[in-house]
Structure formats: structure tokens, C-alpha cells
Structure 1
């Protein structure tokens, strides 16, 4: 049986078992084990645990549970609410300032926590009620938070990027730096749309007031004194200092990614104790419990995904698929478009972690041969996977929003996020035209590769 035929069977078996409702980790592990039994030497089954262990024996992967601990410590505290409130107080005079405050708060919180669902939950639980109280439409309020939450997998420290660095055998520090420029670009695009949409909703509210006398909270003006603004800073600044300190330790060469993650986790726990008095065992227990559950789930998926990729490689499925793609003789940009379209389709059903580990052996060799910078492609792929977090049918952030704002109809949430999907597509096009947006900073800090 040819490798391509085995590969087709492998793909069909994977889809069937995933649509059966089996958890992703078990599905990938089961498919890999079955194909090892039928198509590999019998002794292969005796080495399943050894293969999984060896594939996961990466010092880079050690940083994942530590970054998760750091994110859980911040996510389980009122830090997100305080961060949002502080930014709102300082931006309230800017048109659409409340929406912009949510975008900025999502960006900063995502950079501290490294988790899209945690960002949506922490910022959205405070931001969505405040936006709706001030007259913003429910769909727009939901869209801002859902889209802002996606920055969690783009801005460092990103667990998704850690996995891509391992799968693509690229520098994690360079990859983290490459995400900053595109992250700032997305924040600017989101904020620009927030201003436009806020202007539009303000005009509609004013027209309704002129015609029928119906007053809207949109038309009410807020005022904060300088002492009130300054009063909001003490609880926010320590976390900003933590973010800056972690970045300096990582990019300044003072610590490895794993050491940086450990340092960040310890400092986050220390700040929880100092700022919010979260230090008693009963207060810390939910943080540790959440970290253990998420780390176990994620590392289990990683282990099974790596076993899945190992079987693909052993059976020459990934090599044959890559050769087949190269044999199509597609132009450079058509090849990129086809691969990104595949990532979009996979994003309908799979989380970013699985997409990276399942597709990397197939898509990276042709892209490397076509002359693409794999660091640059990692950022483009991450933005495309961000789209998967907010586009239907199973965008994770959409359901996080429904959980924290159950009274907003799902239809409104979906229509609210669609403009932001379009803005992400614009960002991808800009990165293709101006790759220096991504590659400029790592080249400047770490030298041209």
C-alpha cells in the first residue's frame, strides 16, 4: 500500500474518530496506536510510552505549565477588572474610549496571561456590562471582547507559539519578538474600528433622541478628576512592571524561556499576595487546581499529537504529502493561500495546538523550499488561527462570551465578531506585503538570521 493511500486512510480515520465526540488527545492517540499495530513492526507498540516521552523531552515545553501558572494567578484575581477600569478612566474622553479601553485591556492582559479564554473571561466580565450600560450595542460589545481575547495566542508569552517553535525547530525568543509588531497592528486595527463603530452608534443614538426624545446612555458624558485617575494606577502598575520584567529577562539574555516562565509565575503569585491578599491555602488552591487541570490536558494533547506526527513520519505520510504538494508546482503565493485556507478549515473543528502539531510535518517543508521565512509564517498562521477562535461554527471565544453574557443572542455575538475577522484578514495581507512588520524587531534585536 502506497504512503499516500495510507495517508488518506489516516486522515479519514482521524476525522471519523474526532466526529464521534472522543476528546482530541484520546482520538489522536487511538488513531496513531491502531496504525502502529497494522502498519508498523509489532515491537513498535512496546515503545509507545518511550516515544511520547522522548518527543516531549524538550526544555522548551517545560515553560508551558509555568506560563499557565502565571496566567492562572493573574486570571483568577481581580487584575483584569482593575486593568480595564484604569484604562477606561484615562481614555474616557476619546471617542469610543470605552471600546478602545477594552481592546487595550485585552492586549495587556493577554500579554500577561497568555490565554485567549482567560482574557475574554477576565476583561469581558467587567467590560461587556459596562459597555452595554453606556449604550453600546450587545453585538459590538461582545465582538470587541471576543476579538481582543484572540491576542492571547499572538502576544508573548504565547503557548501556541511555544508549540510552533518546537514543531518548526525555530528560536522561541525570535518568534516571541516577531509577534509584537503584528500584535500592535491588530490592536490598532481593532481600536480604529471601535472608534468608527462608536461614532456610528453615537450618531444613531443622537438621531433617535432628536426624533423621538429617547435618551440613550451613549449621550451621557463622564468626567474623572486627576486624583481619580491617579488612584487607579497602584493596582495596575505592578502587573505592567511584571510584564516588562519578564520580557527584559527573556530578551536580554538573562534567563531561558523556562527560567523566565518560572520567574514570572513566582512573581505573579507574589503580586497576588501583596496586591489582593491572595495568599491563604483556600485562596491559592483554585489557582493551582486550574493550572494542574489545564497543564495536564494540554500536555496530554501535545504528547498524543507528537505520537500522531511520529507515526505519520515513520509511515512516510508527511513526507509523501509534502512531496505531493511540491509536485503540484504551485506558485509561491498560491501555495501559501492553499495552506492558509486549509488552516482556516481546520480551525472550524480543532484548537490551535492540534492544528500546529498535526500539520507542521506536512506544510513546513514545502514552505521552506518555497523560500518563506518560517518565523514570519508562524505569525501569519497564528493570526489565521486567531480567526478560528472567533468564527463559527465552533469559535471558542464565542462560547466564552456566551458564558459570561448569556442574555446576548448567539446571532448577535457572531455578527459582532465578523468585522474583526475581516480586520484579521487585512492584517494577514499587510504582513504578506510588508513582512518587516513581523521580522523587523527580531532582526534588530537578535540580528539578521
Structure 2
């Protein structure tokens, strides 16, 4: 059999394993190992696993994963997420739809310490959903705003999606982090605009909350200020070049632990829970990196990426037509796969095509992450939708999907703007790195 045929069989095996609920990391590992065995022999396949398993996780850049995950977990168990939400609620809650807008703002703020879409949706959802239910918000708007707001965790730095993308494509983590800032702010603004439009169309779905006195607003904001300062210090420190993303992750985690201890909000049980969750998440992400690093050489030998690039170019769609085809493929994949699975399986295939078309790899990283975010709130998988449904309890799944639809349209608008105006993603990294 030809290398291309074996490559296609390897892709079929990969999806077959995932259909049978094999974890994506081990599905990639098995498909890459068996495919390389068929192409190059058992000795080469065995050597590939040994060298790539070590080489994939030996890089110090991967330290940002456990450190930023720990930062988010400590902030969650210490209750700092509640402070972020309360501060947003105090300032915008008195507007019609203000509580849903506060949920989006809270998600955006917590995204800057968690780096995880699911963690953001769960954390803010536990705080915001009961309050919105108490004030009489429509279930669709309440759950939709949290599910959509949670997707910001995959875009606003420190994003685990950007870390994995940087490793797979050998791009700068710092540049990707900076590239996510303005698109994250743009999507946050579009989500808040969506809440306002929903409230304008049907005011009964989004009643206004109580008006908090100015003095009380500043007091509540002051309570959230230490964690906000940690966020500004870590991301701002990367921007001004004071420290690298690896150093920023360690400094941020240490400061949040210190803050939690000083304020008396961290006990041994909470610390143990945060550490355990960090270990589980880190192990999962490291295994995905190992699996991707075994699968990628197999793809390279089979020439699948090169063949796909030639096929797309032969269609004559041009750069943006080809980009549209890739985005549509992502949308379809998002209906059946979670975000990280989409990222690690697709990037080795589409990245050579994108760079060959002359697109900026940092800009495409932002585009890919946003499209993957869209997959987190689209049926039938919609991971964030299922997570928020679990937190909401008695809200039907169809209601959550219906509620998230306007926010999905807002994401499409944001994606179009970033494609039309690449500087939205590239302005900060280009000004920072030259």
C-alpha cells in the first residue's frame, strides 16, 4: 500500500477509536504507533514512542500548563471567582439584562486566571445562575450567557488552547497570549451587546437588578482588586517583557496562593482539591501533547498534509476560499468533538496549508481557537452547554441550546471582523515583539 493509503487508514483508525470512547490522547498514540509500524517497521515505531514521549514534555515551556491551571484552581476554591462576579454585578447589575452582562464580565475576568472554558463556565455558573433564577431571568438567556461567556476561557490568556497550538506549530506562546487579548475583548463586548438586544426585544426575559450605591460599588471592587492585580501583573508583565510566559505562570500561581493564605480563604482541604484537579488536568494535557507528537511524524511520512494542500490549491478557491473550507470543516468537527481534540488532530494537517497560503500563523491561531470555541456551544456535543446544563439542574438541554444561539451569531460576527481586520489579533503582539 502507498503511504497516502496507510495515512488515510490511520485517520480512519483514529476516528474509530474515538467513536468507541478511547481518550483522544491514546487514540492518537495508537494510530500514530500502528501507522508508523506499517510504514517503517516495529523498531522505528518503538523508537518514535520513546523519543517523542520524552521530548514532547521535556520542554520547559510546558510548565505554563500546570502553573496557570493551579492559579485558576486556587482562585476557584478560595472563592475569588465570587468576588469577580460580585464586582461586575455591582457595576452593571442595575441595567436591564445587567445580571447576564455581569456573568459575561465575570467569565472574561475569570478566563484571565483559569485558561479553561469548562472551568470558567462551571465556576461562574455556580455563582450567577441561582441569582438570575431568583430575579426571574429567562432560563435561555441565563444559561446561554454563561455557556457563551465560558468560551472566553479558551481565548483570553492564559489559554490552554494557545499553549497546545504553540507547541504543535512551534510558535511563540507569548505572541499567542497577546494576540488573544483584543479578540477576547471584542467577543466579550459582542456578548454584552447580545444580552442588551435580547433584553430590548423582550424586557421580561432580563429584569434589572437592584441599584448598588457608588460607595458600595467601590468597596466590592476593592475586594476583587488583589486578584485583578495578579491578572494585570502576569499578563502585563509578559507584554512589557518583564518576564516570560513560564515565569509569569509561576509568579501568578505563587501570588494567588499567597493571597489566599493571607486572606484566610485557603484551607488544607481546598489546597488538596486544587492540587488534585491540577494534576488531573496537567496529566490529561501532557498525554494529549505526547499523542500529538507521535501522530504528527506519521502524518509527515504519509505526506497527508502536503497532499491535502495540493488538493485544496487545485480547487482554485484562493487563500480566503481555502480558509472558508477549513473553517467549515472545523464547524462540522465541532458538532462531534471537543475543542482540544479538534486542535491536536487538525492543526498538523491544516497548518502547512495555511502557511503555504501566506496567512500569519499567529492570526490563524486566534481564528482556529474562536472556531473551536464555537464548537463548544453548538449541537450535538456543545461541551459548555452540557456543563452549564449540569450546573443549572432543572433547565432542559433544548432551552440552553436555544438560549446560546444569539451568542453563537455574535461569535460569527466577531470571527468575520477578525478575518476582515487581522490587526485586531496582530496589533498587540506586533507592537510588543516588533
For normalisation by structure 1, the TM-score amounts to 0.92
What is the number of residues matched between the two proteins? 433
Taking the aligned partners of 2:84 and 2:171, their CA distance within structure 1 comes to: 33
Partner of 1:287: 274
Partner of 1:87: 88
1:238-284 Cα shifts (integer Å, max 9, x gaps): 01000011012212222221111111111111112123431x43331
Taking the aligned partners of 1:335 and 1:46, their CA distance within structure 2 comes to: 37
1:205-257 Cα shifts (integer Å, max 9, x gaps): 7xxxxxxxxxxx93x76232233223312320001000011012212222221
Gaps of 5+ in 1: 206-216
Partner of 1:40: 40
Deviation at 1:323, TM superposition (A): 3.2
- The structure-2 alpha-carbon separation of the partners of 1:62 and 1:322, relative to structure 1 and needing over 3 Å to count, comes to farther
8 A contact 1:115–1:152 mirrored in 2:
yes
Q: How large is the Cα RMSD of the aligned pairs?
A: 1.7
Partner of 2:20: 20
> What are the equivalent positions in structure 2 for 1:151-162 lying under 5 Å apart?
151-162=152-163
- The structure-2 alpha-carbon separation of the partners of 1:402 and 1:42, relative to structure 1 and needing over 3 Å to count, comes to same
> What are the equivalent positions in structure 2 for 1:120-135 lying under 5 Å apart?
120-135=121-136
Partner of 1:336: 323
263, 272, 290: which one aligns with 2:260 = 272
Deviation at 1:3, TM superposition (A): 2.7
Helix, strand or coil at the partner of 1:420: helix
8 A contact 2:4–2:302 mirrored in 1:
no
Taking the aligned partners of 1:300 and 1:435, their CA distance within structure 2 comes to: 33
Residue 392 of structure 2 is aligned to residue 405 of structure 1: yes
Larger Rg: 1
326, 336, 340: which one aligns with 1:353 = 340
> What are the equivalent positions in structure 2 for 1:84-233 lying under 5 Å apart?
84-202=85-203, 204=204, 218=207, 222-233=210-221
Deviation at 1:351, TM superposition (A): 2.6
Taking the aligned partners of 1:233 and 1:446, their CA distance within structure 2 comes to: 33
Helix, strand or coil at the partner of 1:364: helix
Deviation at 1:431, TM superposition (A): 1.1
Gaps of 5+ in 2: none
Taking the aligned partners of 1:277 and 1:185, their CA distance within structure 2 comes to: 33
- In the TM superposition, structure 1's runs of 4+ consecutive aligned residues that sit over 6 Å from their partners are none
334, 338, 349: which one aligns with 1:362 = 349
For normalisation by structure 2, the TM-score amounts to 0.95
Deviation at 1:49, TM superposition (A): 2.1
Deviation at 1:69, TM superposition (A): 0.9
